[in-house]
Chains A and B, each alone.
Chain A
Amino acid sequence: MKPVLIVENVRKYYGRVAAVDGVSLTVPEATTIGLIGPNGAGKTTLLDVISGITRPDSGSVKLAVEGGVVEITGKPISVITMLGVARAFQIPNVFDGLSVIDNIRTAIIASKRLYKSISRNYDSLTEVDEDAKGILELVGLYEKKDVKASNLSHGERKLLDIAIALVARPRVLLLDEPTSGLSALEKGRITSIIESLKKERIPMLIVEHDLDVVFSVSDRVIAMHEGKILVEGDPESVKADQRLRYAYFGE
């Protein structure tokens, strides 16, 4: 299948420690890739490099867009977002002072560049509100649309964070630990959201500690250890690989 995101030989050092040490991977269209590995393996740093938050020391990140492939390494975060790389965060990263629906509205306004329509009220843009309703229904937050984000529970904030990432109809979606700190019920909701995004053929790169979740939603799994890719393959073969056990438990 055609690759959407191409990461080539990315290296990122913090001092003399290689957080990411020569990682190459591709996310093909309509494919969900699970990225696993123990703490400090370099998973979040890799997502930071892809979304432009961290500049790699070497290597490149490319994105397939209409009419070709563009290199996004080193581009400003907002430019990478506008090209179609969306990101949700491990620690919910939302607009605390805004209501739930305004969190979504602002993301839609940014992605559609509607901030230039200064003669209109931000809460009377019907096309924005229709999209916002759909996204909030998908994550199950529509009934809470008027609640201030700071008053949501941790799980709801995570759902809102994912909802914000979804507005741009991303070419590729990066999810960083979508289920961390969630109850079993909330985990189930996240898993079903991921399943519905898979049906919409949105390519995803998911960093996740809950291996049950990863192995159930991913088409391919990549295990990282000390900045390098340790094992890569379909969920079954990665699950069976002894090197993975070694990386996690040192046995």
Chain B
Amino acid sequence: MARIMTGVNWLIPVFALLAVVPLVAGPFYSRLVATGILYGVAAVGFNVLFGYTGLLSFGHAMFWGTGAYVVAIGTVKLSLGFPQSFLLALGVVLLLALVTGYLSLRHTKIYFAMLTLAFSQLVYAVALKWRSVTGADEGIYGIPRPLGDIEDYYYVVLVVSFATLFLTWKLLRSPLGLAFRSVRDNPYRAEVVGYSVNRVRLVSFLVSGLVTGIAGALYSPLQSSINPDSLYWTFSAAIVFMAILGGSRVFLGPFIGGLVYVFIQDIAMGLTEYWLLITGLILGAVIFILPSGIVGFIVKLAGGDEE
């Protein structure tokens, strides 16, 4: 069976292609592509839950934003190094995912989505109000970037991102990944063959939140600043958009979706202040014309099979 864009072998050419960017493009495009890579990783994380486990989270900005904020607080307010702040961020994100996942997974479908939305708005409210720690609506500035230049930090982003993608892919190919897909397809049957469906979903939620959190934790040093917008529900929606844009049934779909999204956003923002309208129209068009997303479409075109 053809595994086009679904196999790990596709990580290598994509990695190689992205590794060239800082050599041929200036800091502006390096930053843009690095942002796209991180958006892509965040969307892959979201898709562990959505495409592979069948649960739509409408609150993934909370993991992205929390990762970003903890690194900002660690490096700026606590004077920790980047590696320590990064690890701290992963710990906090996991804890957040454990609590919000445990509570949200009492429901499925739209109720689950609404609960994740509610929790993410709660985290947003904390970031907005806890001025002494989060800097409230102004956020945190002057986050040190490891290795200094954007073009150098780009490689930190690239390597950590692809290590994360590889491990995520490995996990999805493991027996646990098959359990995720079984629960997605038929939770009732999954329970009758012996899976504790709730526990499988919680593990997926943890992995999903962690991967999105890793991307967020790399994001704030890239921008050297962070503000509550990164936790706002519109960013959760953007993550959903990226996954669908790229294709949620193909491993790399959401990653490509994230990269493409950054360019759509950049071009649309340059055209009009109503850029959200343009991204909305594009999403509508994708769902109508390419229901399986950009990568899903390419896979089908090449006669391959999704997943």
Q: A residues engaging B (CB < 8 A)?
A: 51, 53, 76-78, 81-82, 87, 93-98, 102, 105-107, 109-111, 114-123, 125, 146, 164, 167-168
Contact = CB atoms under 8 A, between A and B. Distances in A.
Given A82-B194, A107-B193, A109-B179, A95 B174 contact: no
A93 B190 CA distance: 10
Given A118-B175, A119-B174, A97 B181 contact: yes
Contacts of A125: 175
Contact of A111 (B178, B184, B193): B193
Interface in B269-307: 307
Interface string B176-198: 11110110111011111111110
B1 interface: yes
A109 B194 CA distance: 9
Contact of A117 (B175, B184, B307): B175
Interface residues of B, number: 27
Contacts of A120: 174-175
B182 A95 contact: yes
A93 B171 contact: no
B173 interface: yes
A11 to B, nearest CB: 23
Contact of A98 (B182, B188, B195, B200): B182
Query: Among B177, B185, B192, B200, which residue has the most Cβ atoms of chain A within 10 A?
Result: B192
B6 to A, nearest CB: 13
A123 B172 CA distance: 12
Nearest to A107: B193
A106 B190 CA distance: 9
Contacts of A119: 170, 174
B177 A93 contact: no
Contacts of A95: 181-182, 185-186, 189-190
Contacts of B188: 93
A81 B192 contact: yes
A248 B184 CA distance: 41
A97 B181 CA distance: 8
Nearest to B1: A146
A118 B307 CA distance: 18
Contacts of A167: 193
B175 A122 contact: yes
B194 A98 contact: no
A174 to B, nearest CB: 10
B301 to A, nearest CB: 19
